[in-house]
Structure 1
Amino acid sequence: MPMHISLSLRCALACLMLGLGACTTQPAGPQASTPPSGPCDVVAVPPNYDIPPARLDETMQQLAHATRCAIQFSPPTDRSFDAVPVNAVHGQVSIRQAVRQAIAGTGIVVQQETADSITLSR
């Protein structure tokens, strides 16, 4: 007994199959972004900084307190970082951008970044 399917039902089934085919998942490529996982990665509205030029230790402490992102020095026992004069930090920028703004032109560089910390060195 042959089964007769109406033309409109066949069209509906074809559209459904095509639609479901478009929903198949594919592995994430290099452009796939990972969600923020720590205080240094927070992408919600960043603070609006207005920090005047100051010593490195003072500026980094203000940035760390504002974001809970740990800012460390390498080696950790080197206190010569403390008195290095750094630039003002202005604007609504991420913690990573704020740190780079402050240290630009000082000889201090970002050595390592993780979700929870930024490590600076010479």
Structure 2
Amino acid sequence: MYISSEGAAGKIAKSFDEFILILITCPFWTDLLKFSGEGQLAEMRKTLIYLQSNEEYIEVGKSKTKLATKLSLNLLSIDPVEKLHEAMNSKPEIAVSSISGDLFHSLFNSFVANDLRR
């Protein structure tokens, strides 16, 4: 379960190991959710392609293998986009609310990959 300071919450992995693999293979996972077009898997995949080609994230890729090796994790064992999408849509849905009782909204957002290019 991830709870943001912006009033959004959601399950981002089904296990701790899966969570760590998602973080290593896809450190910009929050952007995948933000630019998901309300949770569309295809839109998340487009966003991943764009982000992986972005200069800002190229250096991150170089550290993935080293970190995974140190943690004895297999980077090829999961599709991070699919696992993130699956976890966010898995049951049971968990409602998170603030102290005042306001419900947190989904981590999925309405932006799409093309919005990144603007």
Instruction: Give the TM-score of the pair, scaled to structure 2.
Output: 0.23
Q: Which structure has greater helix proportion?
A: 2
Max Rg structure: 1
